[in-house]
């Protein structure tokens, strides 16, 4: 079913990193050591990568259960826990009313999903050619699926998987490990 929220890709904006930092500082203050890591992930975390202007924030916690130690502090900042999220590997939160659209997910520290997001981001940060390829695909798919978010996501999967294969090879060559938390 087509969405009413159009897919819009914009040129990379260096201010995205500053915006993330402002969110991350508030999250760190609210969560303290409950957040093992707070990272800027997704396309806006990669300098030079054109993207949907949505800041993706990954909060890593020791365990997704129990939820109270991290849900309450995140909600105190205006985010709303999304109980309809069907992905059992993360807990999703909606951005506060009046704030720019952000995606905030809590994931278990050391989990495959947490590590995969960090690997993908770090690989793209290291490979300008991959960034250009990914941006080109995103622009083309956004044009094709402008009002169909699910179609856009599905059509992007082969590109993402190809980049993830390359990220894996890169990680083996360079001995990748996650760098320190962004916040």
Q: At 61, is the secondary structure helix, strand, or coil? A: strand
pTM score of the predicted model: 0.94
Query: How far is residue 9's CA from residue 81's CA, in Å, rounded to a whole number?
Result: 26
Segment 44-99, tens digit of pLDDT: 999 999 999 999 999 999 999 999 999 999 999 999 999 999 999 999 999 998 88
Beta strand pairing call for 35-41 and 55-61: antiparallel
Q: What is the CATH number of domain 15-174?
A: 3.30.460.10
The predicted pLDDT at position 76 comes to 97
Q: Quick check: bond before 66 cis, omega within 30? A: yes
Token pair in block for residue 27: 């999250």
């Amino acid at each position: 079913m087509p969405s009413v929220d159009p897919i819009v890709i914009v040129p990379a904006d260096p201010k995205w990193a500053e915006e993330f930092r402002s969110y991350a500082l508030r999250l760190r203050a609210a969560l303290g050591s409950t957040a093992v890591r707070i990272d800027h992930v997704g396309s806006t975390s990669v300098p030079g990568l054109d993207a949907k202007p949505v800041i993706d924030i990954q909060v890593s916690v020791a365990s997704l259960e129990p939820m109270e130690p991290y849900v309450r502090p995140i909600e105190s900042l205006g985010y709303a826990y999304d109980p309809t999220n069907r992905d059992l590997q993360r807990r999703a939160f909606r951005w506060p009313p009046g704030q720019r659209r952000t995606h905030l997910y809590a994931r278990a520290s050391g989990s495959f999903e947490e590590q995969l997001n960090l690997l993908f981001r770090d690989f793209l940060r290291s490979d300008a050619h991959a960034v250009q390829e990914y941006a080109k695909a995103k622009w083309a798919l956004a044009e094709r699926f402008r009002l169909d978010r699910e179609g856009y996501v599905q059509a992007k999967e082969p590109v993402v998987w190809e980049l993830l294969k390359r990220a894996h090879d890169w990680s083996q060559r360079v001995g990748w490990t996650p760098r320190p938390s962004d916040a």
